[in-house]
């Protein structure tokens, strides 16, 4: 079940340990949600991240939309994000085209680059693994973009880290947009801004939320 802002303001229960984490949200809704959800996510240990990531990747691999996709765009997980590495191996094994984002810090843009194996990634901007080559692909030839997020509302709108990379990239993207997160990162309250892009689906360890 998605959390309301009132839930976030009071108590959030850790996914495995049932530890209660007290959170208070002030006037700046997005800023406070971002800060507090990141604190919760940071508190996950390696076992929890691995377990939840495996549950999410299993759901993705059994999803018909993924099975029939010919090309997918993934991301390199940081700061305890859901790890999609198993999806990459499965996609490559099944002859799907795998794309990773390459960030251009000067313009806050994402360039989609084809990767044929994990070893083609290298540390790029912000210390994130990115493609070492520039084999570009037309983004509207990508079937699915898996989008990391700090939080999502239950309408499909996303809070990222604040720089707007994905909002710019997805603005004129015609494929399927899939938010990837843990279930505690979904809140019921809408925090949409004019530039925010709505996801078509959100996938957590609890299942698939269809938004179209």
Beta strands in the chain (DSSP E): 11-13, 20-22, 71-73, 97-104, 109-115, 121-123, 129-131, 144-148, 151-153, 158-159, 176-180, 186-187, 201-204, 207-210
Helix (H, G, I), strand (E, B) or coil at 53: helix
Q: What is the pLDDT of residue 194?
A: 66
Contact 150, 34 (CB under 8 A): yes
Mean pLDDT (the chain) is 87
* CATH code for the part of the protein at 5-210: 3.40.50.10420
| pLDDT tens-digit readout, 48-98 | 999 999 999 999 999 999 999 999 999 999 999 999 999 999 999 999 999
Task: Quote the percentage of the chain above a pLDDT of 70.
Answer: 85
Query: With contact defined as beta carbons under 8 Å apart, do 192 and 153 qualify?
Result: yes
In this prediction, residue 109 carries a pLDDT of: 92
Sequence ranges of the domains in the chain? 5-210
pTM reported for the whole predicted model = 0.85
Distance of alpha carbon 177 from the chain centroid: 10
33 and 58 in contact (C-beta within 8 Å)?
no
- pLDDT tens figures, 114-159: 999 999 999 987 899 999 988 999 999 999 999 999 999 989 999 9
């Amino acid at each position: 079940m998605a959390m309301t802002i009132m839930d976030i303001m009071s108590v959030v229960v850790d996914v495995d340990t049932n530890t209660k984490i007290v959170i208070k949200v002030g006037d700046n809704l997005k800023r406070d949600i971002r800060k507090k959800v990141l604190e919760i996510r940071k508190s996950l240990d390696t076992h929890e991240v691995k377990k939840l990531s495996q549950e999410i990747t299993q759901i993705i691999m059994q999803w018909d939309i993924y099975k029939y996709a010919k090309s997918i765009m993934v991301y390199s997980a940081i700061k305890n994000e859901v790890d999609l590495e198993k999806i990459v191996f499965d996609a490559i094994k099944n002859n799907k085209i795998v794309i990773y984002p390459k960030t251009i810090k000067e313009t806050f843009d994402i360039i989609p680059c084809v990767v044929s194996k994990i070893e083609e990634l290298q540390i790029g901007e912000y210390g994130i693994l990115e493609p070492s080559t520039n084999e570009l692909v037309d983004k509207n030839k990508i079937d699915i973009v898996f989008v990391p997020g700090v939080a999502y509302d239950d309408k499909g709108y996303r809070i990222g880290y604040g720089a707007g990379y994905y909002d710019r990239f997805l603005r004129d993207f015609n494929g399927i947009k899939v938010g990837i997160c843990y279930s505690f990162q979904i809140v019921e309250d809408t925090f949409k801004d004019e530039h925010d892009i709505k996801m078509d689906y959100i996938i957590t360890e609890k299942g698939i939320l269809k938004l179209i």
